[in-house]
Structure 1
Amino acid sequence: MVRMLEKLAQLVDEVGALHSKLILLIGQPGSGKTALLAALANQRDMKVMNVGATAGSRLAAIPQRQRALQTNVILREHADECANGDLLLLDNIELLFDQTLKLDPLDLLKRHAHSRRVVAIWPGELVDGRLTYAQMGHQEYQDYGLDGLVPFEIKKKG
């Protein structure tokens, strides 16, 4: 874990020079993504923004037809509160894939990463150079290329 934290911290420092400053932590469930992000937050004396908890409770109070319009505003407000300088750490982003919000989750993360470095836990997989979320045929299924982001793969020990 210490070695992986060192590699991630170095990557976070280097990514600031890129146009899109998005790092996605990718790994199987139980591979330590959340623990690694928490360790980075601790090292940088900051908090991890739990997207599901922070945005979910605010969105629940908004009529469903207005949620798609309000999601980005809510995320930006919480991001400004949680960021430490130009660094934002995100976990539990599954809410962004909710079909009723009509969002492109990866595009939303990339837009946040234009103005600050963003490290987010990807809740899906990286297979053959493609990011996926959910299984093909599932209503929330998404498939993306790696343009505009830096993948940071975590291999499960064992």
Structure 2
Amino acid sequence: MLSKLERLVDEIGDLNSKLILLVGLSRSGKTHLLRQLAANLAVEPLNISAVLARRLAAIPKPKRSFAVGEELREVCVRARMDEVLLLDNLELLFEPGLQIHPLELLKGLAHCKRVVAVWPGELRGDRLIYADLTHQEHCDYSREGVVIFEI
């Protein structure tokens, strides 16, 4: 499975959106696979929820929705341009108070750099789902413009 993902990471560089989402059921090994890829590429994966929580804590709540995109880009810019950006623990991006579209934010990061992210939800047909329909953080996105790597 790791060799398939490595091949896909190499091939995605020619696409407009260079976003690969690792999608699978809870405890299916998405984070483990991301860490294996990180070890092979000598790249440190980013725990987005932990990093952004620290950065956003200093920003007043009403301004966080405007700041989160810039804060995420700043964190990601620290990675070298020739590296692949590896993202895990995206749950904070789905916080309703932030009033952002997490998938669009990830797609924006992937225009300039290859991005591999662990999707914290599931794939149903051609839809990327985060949380139950009854949950306040529920999101439902088309998989258009994203390369899905199912585990």
Please state which band the TM-score falls in when normalised by the shorter chain.
over 0.9
Percent same amino acid at aligned positions?
51
Q: Secondary structure at the match of 1:82?
A: coil
* Count of equivalent residues: 151
Per-residue deviation, residues 107-142 of structure 1 (Å, max 9, x unmatched): 000010001110000000101121100001211111
Q: Tell me the distance in 1 between the aligned counterparts of 2:22 and 2:4.
A: 12
With over 3 angstroms needed to count, the CA separation of the structure-2 counterparts of 1:24 and 1:5, relative to structure 1, is same
Change (3 A) 1:38 1:70: same
Please give the alpha-carbon distance, in whole angstroms, between the structure 2 residues aligned to 1:25 and 1:144. 15
Cα deviation for residue 86 of structure 1 reads: 4.3
SS of residue in 1 equivalent to 2:59 = coil
Counterpart selection for 1:120 from 117, 120, 125: 117
Change (3 A) 1:83 1:38: farther
TM-score (norm 1): 0.92
Instruction: For structure 2, list consecutive stretches of 5 or more residues without a partner in the other structure.
Output: none
2:95 — aligned with what?
98
Which residues of structure 1 form unaligned runs of 5+?
none
After superposing on structure 2, the runs of 4+ consecutive aligned residues of structure 1 that deviate more than 6 Å are none
Task: Return the alpha-carbon distance in structure 2 between the equivalents of residues 147 and 77 of structure 1.
Answer: 26
Alignment equivalent of 1:6, drawn from 3, 10, 16? 3
TM superposition score normalised by structure 2 = 0.96
Letter in 1 for 2:58: A
